[in-house]
């Protein structure tokens, strides 16, 4: 879950980390008003996308007229898959030095990892290629917080001289915010040292662990809506894992691994998958709504149903699917493979209700499904 | 971890609906389930075993070698710490959607206690002919039978398909280690490979990976040290970037965690990397003595 920059900065401020004066605007008029109040500003599209400066989604404005024009440009525009509905109009500060600071999850530890680089304002991936020596990292025991003295040692030699204590203090506060918000990533890039010697977060990326949403309801409510298609949103509301793609062969399978693999084999055998639809895990009782969503995709020419039951019982999934099929009577041909938990009963049900026999292997079912697309075209 | 038939298994959260169903399957398979834990139902007998209020009490009855957790996501941390405090040396956490912060806490505490953790978000472990811990279809002879292939898989469903293909070729498994689909897990791919390398009954290894993270790349660095051949399949070649594909861990950005990176690492380290799971059986057949 991505927290929009302006909301993340409000959290930084609550955590005692300085941010520039700013206001959120959803119209050019509001942006101009904010610029009138603040002075020289940056106008920043509120989209969770890196490299906004380069793509023109963040631009400087010297006066309210410019702020009005830039906001007019940005609002309603698309940056990658995200539509801009808000801009952050923020004070432009004279910057002496830009740092990179982050707290992230290091899975191999596992640990919370604090990262500091004296090269701020560029992607950390780029710095890792061009100047890896400038990146300092520190792995923390997941059960404890960053100690101020440890933070000071990390900051020493970062070339920030008199600002070092303030930077160390920011790291300690970032680490605490990371823990308290169940974050996956808290990144401040750049963390600026201003001409006046203040340490200020000019940008902020905060990604929360969606598994912790239930115990962080107010944070979860602040998350930016994901850029989903209409069907993806419908699936999400039903608790289904669904990703719409642009191919012709629909996919319903159980489990993330098997569903991805079904897509992979479709591509390997020369077809194009229409979607990812997973009904394993807790979703194995939701075969019916899953089928409805997959069938609602435009461009669908055939359907592969690939079940290999472990936790997800194939008899329950096929029951739901065939029940819905007989009511919906779709004109899309379906090609099944059924193995694993409950497969004997599932195969019987498929035969009785749809008169279909599952294919012996997924490759066979997929080959037939791809061929069916071709016949349609001819 | 590889669970042997004589090892004692505790089921935490045993009175839940899924736990009840799968405990019965585990018992039918011969898994030695000695007790259950369910804080609100202590004192009853369920699935033919006594139910206790905490692992500490259950351990007084019969110290378990393994505890398997069928508990809700936000209760996993407390349940796992209960098991660790009671001295349980191995935990299998099946639960999906455990907050990463809790998972990390549990793994750190386990390391301190010298205990092993498998999962979270795993379908479990199977030692064919001996023991099943979790919800893999061990009871299905078309999928599991004793043999010499050690299987490591992030995915339960794809792991099941892989095991089916192994049996179809006339081979069997020495152990199935479901490591789990979360980004942070207790037993990573490399550690599972180490266990299979040490296991005398394993003569070849099947590695089922997927996009996201760096576990396959990390595991590839260990391959040159292995004496046993490794066949691999990595799911997610056709998945788009920046989208989470069902598993919390299955997401990649540009070059990080991508299919290409994983395939290249594994192939470069000498693994046979397959384009489709149907190649699993034939590839292993030529390698297993």
**Sequence-distant (≥ 6) Cβ neighbours of residue B88 within 8 angstroms:** B10, B55, B59, B63, B64, B65, B66, B67, B115
> pLDDT at residue A282 above 80?
no
Shared domain check, B216 and B145: yes
Query: What is the Cα gyration radius of chain B?
Result: 18
B208-to-A113, A218, B2, B30 alpha-carbon distances in Å: 28, 38, 17, 26
> Is B233 part of any domain?
yes
Measure CB to CB from residue A256 to each of B97, B100, B155 and give the nearest one: B155
Shared domain check, B245 and B182: yes
Shared domain check, B277 and B180: yes
- Which residue of chain B is at minimal alpha-carbon distance from A1? B244
> Is B133 part of any domain?
no
- Measure the CA–CA gap between A339 and A333, rounded to whole angstroms: 20
pLDDT digit string (tens) for B221-230? 999 999 999 9
- The band of A258, judged by pLDDT with boundaries at 50, 70 and 90, is very high
- Which residue of chain A is at minimal alpha-carbon distance from B98? A211
| Beta-carbon contacts below 8 Å between A and B | 186
Q: Are B239 and A278 in contact (CB under 8 A)?
A: no
Burial A228-246 (b: 16+ CB within 10 A, else e): eeebbebbeeeebbbbbbe
**Sequence-distant (≥ 6) Cβ neighbours of residue A141 within 8 angstroms:** A111, B108
Q: Is A59 exposed, middle or buried (0-12, 13-18, 19+ CB in 10 A)?
A: buried
Mutate which of B95, B107, B161, B255 to test chain A, going by most A C-beta atoms within 10 A? B161
Shared domain check, B280 and B201: yes
> Is B2 part of any domain?
no
Q: Are B35 and B52 in contact (CB under 8 A)?
A: yes
Write down the pLDDT at residue B288.
84
For residue B66, what is the domain's CATH number?
A: 3.40.50.720
Shared domain check, B272 and B198: yes
> pLDDT at residue B81 above 90?
yes
Domain termination site, one of B85, B118, B151: B118
- The band of A377, judged by pLDDT with boundaries at 50, 70 and 90, is very low
> pLDDT at residue B106 above 80?
yes
Residues 93-152 of A with CB under 8 A from B: 105, 107-112, 125, 141-143
Q: Are A311 and B135 in contact (CB under 8 A)?
A: yes
Q: What number is the average pLDDT over the span B195-207?
A: 98
In angstroms, what separates the C-alpha of A112 from chain B's closest C-alpha? 9
Mutate which of A256, A268, A274 to test chain B, going by most B C-beta atoms within 10 A? A256
Q: What number is the average pLDDT over the span A117-144?
A: 90
> Is B60 part of any domain?
yes
Q: What number is the average pLDDT over the span B149-164?
A: 96
- Which residue of chain A is at minimal alpha-carbon distance from B134? A311
- Measure the CA–CA gap between B178 and A37, rounded to whole angstroms: 58
Domains observed in chain A:
21-91 (3.30.1490.20), 95-222 (3.30.470.20), 230-377 (3.40.50.261)
Q: Which of A81-90, B233-242, B244-253 has the lowest mean pLDDT?
A: B244-253
A26 and B CB contact within 8 Å: no
**Sequence-distant (≥ 6) Cβ neighbours of residue A183 within 8 angstroms:** A103, A177, A206, A207, A208, A209
In angstroms, what separates the C-alpha of B215 from chain A's closest C-alpha? 8
Write down the pLDDT at residue A378.
38
> Is B271 part of any domain?
yes
Write down the pLDDT at residue A341.
84
Q: How many of the other CB atoms lie within 10 Å of CB of A199?
A: 23
Write down the pLDDT at residue A285.
82
pLDDT digit string (tens) for B120-154? 999 999 999 999 999 999 999 999 999 999 999 99
Shared domain check, B156 and B281: yes
Shared domain check, B144 and B281: yes
A308 and B CB contact within 8 Å: yes
Q: Are A321 and A252 in contact (CB under 8 A)?
A: yes
> Is B266 part of any domain?
yes
Shared domain check, B114 and B193: no
Shared domain check, B220 and B170: yes
Active site residues of B: 247
> Is B131 part of any domain?
no
**Chain B residues with beta carbon closer than 8 angstroms to that of A212:** 99-101
A49 and B CB contact within 8 Å: no
Q: Are B58 and B86 in contact (CB under 8 A)?
A: yes
What DSSP letter does each residue of chain B carry, written as one string? ----TT-EEEEETTTSHHHHHHHHHHHHHT-EEEEEE-GGGTT-EETTEEEESSHHHHHHHS--SEEEE---GGGHHHHHHHHHHTT--EEEE--SS--HHHHHHHHHHHHHHT-EEE-SS--EEEETTTEEEESS-TT-TTT--EEEEEEEES-HHHHHHHHHHHHHTT--EEEEEE--SSSS-SS-HHHHHHHHHH-TT--EEEEEEESSSSHHHHHHTTGGG-SS-EEEEEE-TTPPTT---SSTT---BTTBT-HHHHHHHHHHTT-EE-SSGGGHHHHHHTT--
Write down the pLDDT at residue A312.
83
- The band of A259, judged by pLDDT with boundaries at 50, 70 and 90, is very high
Q: Are A310 and B157 in contact (CB under 8 A)?
A: yes
Q: Using CA of residue A47, residue A51, residue A56, residue A58, what is the dihedral sign?
A: positive
Question: Beta A135-140 vs A82-83: how paired, if at all?
Answer: unpaired
Is A340 within 8 Å of B164 when comparing Cβ atoms? yes
- Measure the CA–CA gap between B142 and B153, rounded to whole angstroms: 18
> pLDDT at residue B22 above 90?
yes
Write down the pLDDT at residue A374.
81
- Measure the CA–CA gap between A67 and B186, rounded to whole angstroms: 50
Q: Is A308 helix (H, G, I), strand (E, B) or coil?
A: strand
- Measure the CA–CA gap between A290 and B218, rounded to whole angstroms: 36
User: What is the residue range of B252's domain?
Assistant: 140-285
Q: Is A357 helix (H, G, I), strand (E, B) or coil?
A: coil
- The band of A13, judged by pLDDT with boundaries at 50, 70 and 90, is very high
Is A257 within 8 Å of B105 when comparing Cβ atoms? no
**Chain A residues with beta carbon closer than 8 angstroms to that of B20:** none
Q: Are A357 and A325 in contact (CB under 8 A)?
A: no
Shared domain check, B147 and B48: no
A221 and B CB contact within 8 Å: no
Is A254 within 8 Å of B238 when comparing Cβ atoms? no
- Measure the CA–CA gap between A156 and A164, rounded to whole angstroms: 7
> pLDDT at residue A36 above 50?
yes
- Measure the CA–CA gap between B192 and B151, rounded to whole angstroms: 9
Is B100 within 8 Å of A184 when comparing Cβ atoms? yes
Is A362 within 8 Å of B161 when comparing Cβ atoms? yes
Domain termination site, one of B118, B150, B176: B118
- The band of A234, judged by pLDDT with boundaries at 50, 70 and 90, is very high
Q: What number is the average pLDDT over the span A251-266?
A: 96
Burial B101-112 (b: 16+ CB within 10 A, else e): bbbbbbbbbbee
A268 and B CB contact within 8 Å: yes
Shared domain check, B214 and B94: no
Write down the pLDDT at residue B247.
82
> Is B270 part of any domain?
yes
> pLDDT at residue A376 above 60?
no
What DSSP letter does each residue of A78-123 carry, written as one string? EETTEEP--EEEEEPPPEEEEEEEEEEEETTTTEEEEEEES--SS-
- Measure the CA–CA gap between A177 and B232, rounded to whole angstroms: 40
For residue B235, what is the domain's CATH number?
A: 3.40.50.261
* Domains held by chain B: number: 2
> pLDDT at residue B89 above 70?
yes
Q: What number is the average pLDDT over the span A355-363?
A: 95
Shared domain check, B245 and B110: no
Is B154 within 8 Å of A257 when comparing Cβ atoms? yes
Residues 177-206 of A with CB under 8 A from B: 179, 182, 184
Measure CB to CB from residue A261 to each of B22, B99, B158 and give the nearest one: B158
- Measure the CA–CA gap between B144 and B174, rounded to whole angstroms: 10
């Amino acid at each position: 879950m991505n927290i929009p920059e302006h909301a993340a900065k409000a959290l930084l401020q609550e955590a005692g980390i300085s941010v520039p004066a700013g206001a959120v605007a959803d119209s050019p008029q509001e942006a101009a008003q904010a610029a009138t109040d603040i002075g020289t500003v940056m106008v920043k599209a509120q989209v969770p996308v890196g490299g906004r400066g380069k793509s023109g989604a963040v631009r400087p404005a010297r006066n309210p007229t410019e702020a009005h024009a830039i906001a007019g440009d940005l609002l309603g525009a698309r940056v990658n898959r995200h539509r801009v509905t808000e801009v952050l109009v923020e004070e432009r500060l004279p910057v002496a030095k830009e740092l990179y600071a982050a707290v992230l999850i290091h899975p191999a530890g596992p640990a919370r990892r604090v990262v500091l680089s004296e090269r701020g304002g560029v992607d950390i991936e780029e710095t890792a290629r061009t100047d890896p020596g400038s990146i300092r990292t520190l792995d923390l025991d997941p059960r404890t917080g960053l100690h101020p003295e440890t933070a000071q040692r990390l900051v020493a030699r970062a070339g920030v001289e008199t600002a070092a204590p303030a930077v160390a203090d920011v790291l300690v506060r970032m680490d605490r915010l990371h823990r308290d918000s169940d974050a996956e990533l808290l990144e401040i890039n750049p963390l600026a040292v201003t001409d006046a010697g203040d340490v200020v977060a000019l940008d902020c990326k905060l990604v929360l662990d969606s598994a912790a949403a239930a115990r962080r309801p107010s944070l979860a409510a602040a998350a930016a809506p994901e850029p989903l298609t209409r069907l993806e949103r419908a699936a999400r509301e039903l608790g289904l894992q669904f990703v719409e793609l642009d191919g012709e062969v629909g996919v319903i399978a159980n489990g993330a691994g098997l569903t991805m693999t079904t897509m992979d084999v479709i591509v390997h055998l020369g077809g194009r998958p229409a979607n990812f639809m997973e009904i394993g895990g807790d979703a194995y009782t939701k075969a019916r709504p899953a089928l409805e969503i997959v069938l609602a995709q435009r461009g669908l020419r055939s359907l592969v149903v690939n079940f290999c039951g472990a936790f997800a019982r194939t008899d329950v999934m096929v029951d739901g699917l065939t029940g819905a099929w007989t009511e919906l009577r779709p004109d899309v041909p379906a090609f099944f493979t059924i193995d694993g938990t409950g497969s004997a009963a599932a195969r019987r049900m498929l035969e009785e209700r749809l008169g279909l026999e599952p294919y012996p292997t997924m490759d066979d079912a997929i080959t037939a499904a791809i061929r069916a697309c071709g016949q349609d075209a001819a | 971890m590889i669970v042997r038939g004589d090892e004692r298994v505790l089921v935490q959260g045993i009175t839940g609906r899924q736990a009840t169903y799968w405990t019965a399957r585990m018992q039918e398979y011969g898994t030695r389930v000695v007790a259950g834990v369910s804080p609100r139902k202590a004192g009853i007998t369920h699935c033919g075993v006594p139910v206790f209020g905490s692992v500490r009490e259950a351990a007084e009855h019969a110290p378990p070698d393994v505890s398997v957790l069928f508990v809700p996501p936000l209760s996993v941390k407390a349940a796992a710490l209960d098991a660790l405090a009671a001295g349980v040396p191995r935990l299998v956490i099946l639960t999906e959607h455990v907050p990463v912060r809790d998972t990390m806490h549990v793994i750190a505490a386990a390391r301190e206690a010298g205990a092993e953790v498998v999962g979270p978000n795993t379908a479990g472990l199977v030692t064919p002919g001996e023991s099943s811990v979790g919800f893999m279809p061990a009871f299905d002879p078309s999928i599991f039978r004793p043999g010499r292939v050690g299987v490591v898989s992030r995915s339960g469903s794809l792991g099941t398909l892989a095991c089916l293909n192994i049996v179809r070729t006339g081979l069997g498994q020495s152990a199935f280690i479901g490591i789990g689909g979360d980004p942070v897990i207790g037993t990573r791919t490399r550690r599972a490979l180490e266990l299979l390398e040490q296991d005398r009954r394993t003569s070849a290894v099947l590695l089922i990976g997927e996009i996201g993270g760096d576990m396959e790349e990390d595991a590839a660095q260990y391959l040159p040290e292995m004496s046993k051949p490794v066949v691999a399949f990595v799911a997610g070649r056709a998945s788009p970037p920046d989208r989470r594909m069902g598993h919390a861990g299955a997401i990649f950005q540009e070059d990080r965690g991508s299919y290409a990176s994983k395939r290249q690492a594994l192939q470069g380290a000498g693994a046979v990397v397959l384009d489709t799971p149907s190649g699993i059986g034939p590839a292993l057949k030529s390698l297993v003595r």
